[in-house]
Amino acid sequence: MKKDADAIINSPEFKDLVARKGTVSAVLSVIMLGAYYGFILVLAFNKALLSQGLGEGMSVGILVGLVVILLAWALTGVYVFWANDKYDSAVNAIRQELRRDK
């Protein structure tokens, strides 16, 4: 069984799957972390920027906060969309091949 597993994870299809998932996860995580910590750092070092008004009843801060909230949700949506479309079909292809080999 161990040999099987080694053979699978070294196959080009599996390696491609791992690489693609790693890239998508890393890119989306970096966007989220970047947006959140960017927001925190602006809060810490340049409050004046976020305090600017955008007409009556609106400020840059509220708009940016709202964008970060919606971005968090949108990113999870992007991931689900990608995984349902690309990832699952790649997984199924490899699974089918395994079944045929048995």
Partner 1 sequence: MNQFTTTIGQPNITSILFFFVFISVTMCITYFAAKRSKTTAEFYTAGGGISGFQNGLALAGDYMSAASFLGIAGLVSLKGYDGLIYSIGFLVGWPIIMFLIAEPLRNLGKYTFADVVAYRLSQKPIRIAASVGSLMTVAFYLIAQMVGSGSLIHMVFGLQYEIAIVFVGAVMIAYVLFGGMLATTWVQIIKAVLLLGGATVLVLMVLSQFGMNPVNLFAAAQAKYGDRVLAPGGLVSNPWDAVSLGLALMFGTAGLPHILMRFYTVPDAKAARKSVFVATGFIAFFYILTFIIGFGAMVLVGQDVISGMDKGGNMAALLLAEVTGGTMFLGFIAAVAFATILAVVAGLTLAGATTLSHDLYVNVFRSGHANEQEEVRVAKIATLALGVLAVALGLAFKGQNVAFMVGLAFAIAASANFPALLLSIAWRGFSTFGAVCSIATGTTLAVVLIIFSPTVWVDILKNPAAVFPLKNPALISITGAFVAGWLGSVMKRDEAAEARYAEQKVRNYLGVSLD
Site residues for partner 1 per CB under 8 A: 1-2, 4-6, 8-9, 14, 17-18, 21, 24-25, 28-29, 32-33, 36-37, 39-41, 43-45, 47, 50-51, 53, 56-59, 61-62, 65-66, 68-70, 72-73, 75-77, 79-80, 83-84, 88, 91, 94-95, 98
With tokens 């079944």, the residue in question is 99
Q: Which is nearer to partner 1, 5 or 100 (CB)?
A: 5
* Residue 94: both structure tokens together: 């490899």
Nearest Cα to 31, choosing from 72, 83, 82, 62?
72
Task: Work out the number of other CB atoms within 10 angstroms of the CB of residue 63.
Answer: 13
